Amino acid sequence: MVRGEDLNHADFSEYQKFIVSHKNYESLPSKINNLGEITWVRVKDGPRTQWWDELRVVLNHKDRASVARAIHPTELGGYKPCQVCGRKMSILAVYPDLRATKKIAEAFPELEIGHFEFEISEVASKVEGSYGAAGLKKLANIFSYSGKSTEAASLALGIFKNGKSLSPGVMSNAPDRLDGFHTYNACCRSVQDTGRHASNLSRYSTDRRAYENWADGNWRGADRLMGKYQSSAELVACPSCGSVSKMSTDHIGPISLGFMHRMDFRPMCIDCNSKKNNRMSLEDIDILIAAEKAGGEVISWHSKALWNKLKGKIRTDQQALEASKLLRKNMHYVMCILATLQDTGFEDFLKTYLHPEYAAFDYNFTEFDITTGLFVAEQYPVDSLNTQKQAKRYVRISFESLREYSEKDNRRSARWVDKEADAMLKEVLTLLKNGSITPAKQLINKMLDRLATGLAASF
């Protein structure tokens, strides 16, 4: 048993047991305590410190961090699961740092790439799929890379070897941690380590898009299911292209287009997922409609009006692409409305659209088939400090996204041109000032329906 195992993600607990029994750490002292438990953390432990320093000399490395990377078992491929969420992230510097992420967001706004969300190889693939050779050249400039790479894979390798503006997915913490790395990865560092990079890391996460787009759906369950995919090292044939690879999660209905964050993903290799981005196909539309006919919900409250006006008219992939563009434009309208309500002091009203209560549950997935995406989910209640932090983080990021949206000049130009809609929004503010919550919500829905009618007219 690992001391404190009840607080760990299951994949991290398995990782701990694997590390302790691995030959690379065989001579490391203080691994097991008197109760037979794995002692993962040993602060200011003399024998452990000596072990790391002696190994540094033997391996001829300049510091303990490089030793930790060197001895990390090759069977794991350079990845370590997060103690909190189970997401496997690279121990190498393969993720664009915060500065580079911001520049990427400015250069390629449609890609919506968050900090520590993708490795540089995935970013390059996304850029190539959406912007071609010109996009790759711009990406190279962001990383001050002067190599003459003409395709995503070679450019990503060149940027990695260049070593500029990249960060590891997990920081070294030798000798305090048994494996030499922090227990939590960059994905959850804002929750676990508020004293370091909190203002930056708390704003970027793998699940940030669900929060920042105010998506409906069981975000806790969906995040956990995404973690199940990310923690799997299984290589299978991609259902889309047939290539053998690790699978990533395709939302089918992109969150950035107003769809829900559901516990329903289509397995897809990273390359196919990157190329798809937020562009839907006719097949996607058919799957979403079928899910609705089966009694499920797929679209968030704020985008339902436009979705209902478009879905029955889509007959081709090209029409699905046009619908994607209209749904994206509608999301700009939605964010403008929500940001206006926040700017005028109605955050308490906006909270009625959020669902932090999902943080009160956690999930186990059995009979999980990564080739089909099928699984059996077991939900159970949880009550812990981390649960409270996750709920607060969900609400905080949702509101941060509205502030960021208001501050971006390029987003202001996306506002609708409709005097009647302007009058409706003004009336909503009046109703809220008078405490008329239900009429205000009804008028917001009416306004969204009007804006959706205008967008659908161009389809």
186 and 163 belong to one structural domain? no
Does residue 110 carry a pLDDT above 80?
A: no
270 and 417 belong to one structural domain? yes
Residue 181: φ, ψ to 5°: -130, 155
Q: Report if residue 172 sits inside a domain.
A: no
Q: Report if residue 442 sits inside a domain.
A: yes
Domain residues for 259? 203-457
Does residue 127 carry a pLDDT above 60?
A: yes
Largest CA distance in the chain: 75
Q: What are 296-325's pLDDT values in tens digits?
A: 999 999 999 999 999 999 999 999 999 999
Does residue 105 carry a pLDDT above 90?
A: no
358 and 453 belong to one structural domain? yes
Q: Report if residue 222 sits inside a domain.
A: yes
56 and 183 belong to one structural domain? yes
HEC-encoded secondary structure of 387-439? HHHHHHHHHHHHHHHHHHHHHCHHHHCCCCCCHHHHHHHHHHHHHHHCCCHHH
Identify the pLDDT of residue 45: 64
Identify the pLDDT of residue 193: 45
Identify the pLDDT of residue 278: 84
- Which of 66-75, 107-116, 118-127, 160-169 has the least mean pLDDT? 107-116
Identify the pLDDT of residue 427: 98
119 and 189 belong to one structural domain? no
Binned at pLDDT 50, 70 and 90, residue 58 comes out as very high
- Kindly report the average pLDDT of the chain as a whole number: 87
103 or 110, which is more confident? 103
Which 8-state DSSP code applies to residue 367?
Answer: E
Identify the pLDDT of residue 245: 82
- Which of 198-207, 272-281, 367-376 has the least mean pLDDT? 198-207
Average pLDDT value for residue range 354-368: 89
Q: Report if residue 173 sits inside a domain.
A: no
Q: What are 400-432's pLDDT values in tens digits?
A: 888 878 776 445 556 898 999 999 999 999 999
318 and 232 belong to one structural domain? yes
Taking the alpha carbons at both ends of the chain, their separation in whole angstroms is 60
Does residue 186 carry a pLDDT above 60?
A: yes
In the chain, the amino acid numbered 190 is S
pTM of the model: 0.61
Q: Report if residue 35 sits inside a domain.
A: yes
66 or 406, which is more confident? 66
Q: Report if residue 266 sits inside a domain.
A: yes
Identify the pLDDT of residue 176: 86
Does residue 141 carry a pLDDT above 60?
A: yes
In the chain, the amino acid numbered 59 is L
Average pLDDT value for residue range 43-60: 87
User: Rounded CA gap, 375 and 229, in Å?
Assistant: 11
Average pLDDT value for residue range 206-213: 73
Enter the tokens of residue 208.
């940030």
CA 320 to chain centre: 24
301 and 408 belong to one structural domain? yes
Pairing of strands 93-96, 166-168: antiparallel
78 and 119 belong to one structural domain? no
| Beta-bridge partner residues of 89 | 80
Q: Report if residue 252 sits inside a domain.
A: yes
Does residue 191 carry a pLDDT above 90?
A: no
How many domains, in total, are found in the chain?
A: 3
Average pLDDT value for residue range 201-211: 52
Binned at pLDDT 50, 70 and 90, residue 202 comes out as very low
Q: Identify the burial level of 327 via C-beta atoms within 10 angstroms of its C-beta, where 0-12 means exposed, 13-18 middle and 19 or more buried.
A: buried
Q: Report if residue 3 sits inside a domain.
A: no
335 and 437 belong to one structural domain? yes
232 and 292 belong to one structural domain? yes
What share of the chain in percent tops pLDDT 70?
92
